[in-house]
Amino acid sequence: MKDRIRIVALGGLDERGKSCYVIEINQDIFVISTGLRFPDRTTPGIDYIVPNFDYLRENKNRVKAYFLPHGHDDEIGALAYLYRDVPAPIYGTKVTLTMLRAFCRRVGVDCKSFEFHEMPASCDFKVGNRDISFFQTSHNIALSNGIAITTTEGNIVFTSDYVVENNATQSYLGDMASLSKIAEKNKTLVLMTPSMYANRPGYTAPKYKLRPLIERKVQNTEGRVFVALYTLNFYNIDEVISLAVSTRKKIVPYDENTTEVIRSMQECGQLNIPRENYANPEDINRLRDQDILVLMIDYHPRIYRKMALLASGQTDGGRIIKLKPTDLFVMAVPADDNEEIEATDAIDELYRSGCQVYNITKKEFYKMHPSEEDLKMMISLFRPTYYVPAKGFFKDLLNNAKVAVNTGTGLTHRNIFLLEDGLSLLIDESGAHILQENIVHGDVLIDGIGVGDVSQAVLEDRERLSQGAVIISVTVSKKERKILSKPDVQFRGIVFSRDNESMTNDVTKIFMTTLQDGLADPKCDLEKIKEECYDRCFRCIRRLSGKEPMVLPIIVEI
């Protein structure tokens, strides 16, 4: 009997992060990646954004396993919020599972009940009666892997992030032998590859390597060296630490978050810092400048705010760190498309501080994602029947599809499928086609310990509060229908270009007129009066200042 296969993404398509791919084979469900996305300026006050997992909750008895390709939060983070509702065995390498445990600690989730299965980066195993293969890939976090799931029609292969690299340490080296074995043993039904760099010609290697870009600058700098890196970019963190050791500098973690990342790498067995090359954060102002390399590590876009605060000389953890003209600040954190405003602000603050700034751009420093030739190599190796671009904005998916067409492996518009989140690809005896039904998907916002309890209205209120607030309070007698006190008008977080007193008088006049008209109404509904006061005062403030603050009319009845 032939297997009936359905592939659907609950996240990761036409977006950055939040990866989650559901592979259904007959009645069994296998989930590849359960990632999150970091908030931007459109989601103030939000910690993380995870996929809507209602489909998995509704079918939790069919979920047989979670396969985690690597330990980045955009691949594993959402599982901390999903597992309690949809438990199933979790398969990943030592590094991947260690990073999942670390994330759970960070967000206060107890993972003792999680069923972890620690696997080698390249191995074969079974889940039920289904044959599964892991194959090690080269990525910027150690012991990353792709996944192959066997079906009667051929393998479903998900490469996850990778680059073609033959010159790396064992933990970061792709296993070409395992790849070839999987491709030869069974035909490939579906190949899924990431799309972020599909429009970049050539290979990604060696442009993901940081040390060649900064080594000479670090050696020639007379003062302190600050290096900003993304969290979980293990490869580049390892490069910087090796450079510090070779130049006899002490590695100083900038803050507790950086210390935690270093601790996690050591816990995974992926980092060894000699004691004489390590110093605590509180030693940053006690050591000689030329002996210090300060590591600043955080998630994007938080890393930009951290850099801006340092550059402006603001206190961090009780320490005052002032950048000096002799200091070198290396920004090895090229911004994604939706983070350029925050990154530009941080760069500007750094230049204002007077220190030496080396801003490494996206053109000279790549993330470890496959470029055009990397993709062609993987497609030519597996020669799939069907091809599904994954991980990226729609333009990236389209570029990936164009690369596939140009490989000469028989891939055309008839067997390449550009999916969207919630859209299903069905493969059965009649071939492959996209189903018209749309599975429930979308964003779930994590705010502190709250999961999904922040509405769009709350986000709009937070956005408005960021522009300031106007509080107008007054006491009235509803029985006598008159105002008992002069309104108190307070502006918070707002700076006006015109005279403040004049603005206050205008707002007070409109508020009083609206209130008096409402009290004169025989029905005299205070809630409706508040709404009318809000509307008129808000329009007045917007007209006079161009701002849209939160307006809070408070009417106290006695």
Give the C-alpha separation, 14 to 421, whole Å. 8
Lowest mean pLDDT among 28-37, 434-443, 477-486: 477-486
Q: Are 193 and 390 in contact (CB under 8 A)?
A: yes
Residue 448 has pLDDT above 60, yes or no: no
Residue 456 has pLDDT above 60, yes or no: no
Spacing of C-alpha 494 from chain mean position: 32
CA distances from 118 to 139, 145, 330 (A): 19, 13, 36
* Angle, alpha carbons 287-293-298 (nearest 5°): 120
Give the C-alpha separation, 327 to 322, whole Å. 10
- Residue matched to tokens 């007379």: 222
What pLDDT does residue 317 have?
A: 56
What's phi and psi for 557, nearest 5 deg? -100, 135
Q: What is the mean pLDDT of the chain?
A: 87
Q: What is the pLDDT of residues 136-177, one digit of tens each?
A: 999 989 999 999 999 999 999 999 999 998 877 788 889 999
Q: Is the peptide bond before 384 cis (omega within 30 degrees of 0)?
A: no
Structure tokens that stand for 383 in this block: 């020669």
Q: Are 48 and 38 in contact (CB under 8 A)?
A: yes
Q: Are 94 and 158 in contact (CB under 8 A)?
A: no
Q: pLDDT band at 497, cuts 50/70/90?
A: very low
Residue 41 has pLDDT above 80, yes or no: no
What integer is the mean pLDDT of 473-492? 78
The β-bridge partners of 469 are: 492, 550
Q: Is the peptide bond before 87 cis (omega within 30 degrees of 0)?
A: no
Lowest mean pLDDT among 38-52, 285-299, 343-357, 439-453: 439-453
Q: Tell me if residue 542 falls in helix, strand or coil.
A: helix
What integer is the mean pLDDT of 277-294? 88
Residue 464 has pLDDT above 60, yes or no: no
Give the C-alpha separation, 348 to 351, whole Å. 5
More confident residue, 383 or 550: 383
Q: Are 224 and 328 in contact (CB under 8 A)?
A: yes
DSSP 316: B
Q: What is the pLDDT of residues 503-542, one digit of tens each?
A: 778 888 888 888 888 887 777 777 888 888 888 888 887 7
Q: Are 175 and 144 in contact (CB under 8 A)?
A: no
Q: What is the pLDDT of residues 192-238, one digit of tens each?
A: 999 999 999 999 999 999 999 999 999 989 899 999 999 878 899 99
Neighbours of 262 (CB within 10 A): 18
Structure tokens that stand for 108 in this block: 């206060």
Give the C-alpha separation, 411 to 1, whole Å. 27
Q: pLDDT band at 474, cuts 50/70/90?
A: confident
What pLDDT does residue 494 have?
A: 63
More confident residue, 478 or 451: 478
Sequence-ordered alpha helix ranges (H) in 142-279: 176-185, 211-220, 234-246, 256-267
What's phi and psi for 63, nearest 5 deg? -75, 115
Q: pLDDT band at 465, cuts 50/70/90?
A: low
Give the C-alpha separation, 136 to 69, whole Å. 9
What pLDDT does residue 488 have?
A: 81
DSSP 307: H
Q: Is 282 exposed, middle or buried (0-12, 13-18, 19+ CB in 10 A)?
A: exposed
Q: How would you label 57-81 residue by residue, b for 16+ Cβ within 10 Å and e otherwise?
A: eeeeeebbbbbbbbbbbbbbbbbbb
Give the C-alpha separation, 301 to 231, whole Å. 11
Sequence-ordered alpha helix ranges (H) in 354-413: 372-382, 394-405
Label each residue of 185-214 as H, E or C: HCCEEEEEEECCCCCCCCCCCCCCCCHHHH
Strand-strand pairing, 188-194 and 386-390: parallel
Length of the chain: 558
Question: pLDDT > 90: what percent of the chain?
Answer: 53
- Residue matched to tokens 């395992």: 178
What pLDDT does residue 503 have?
A: 74
Q: Tell me if residue 361 falls in helix, strand or coil.
A: coil
Neighbours of 431 (CB within 10 A): 11
Q: pLDDT band at 296, cuts 50/70/90?
A: very high
More confident residue, 361 or 458: 361
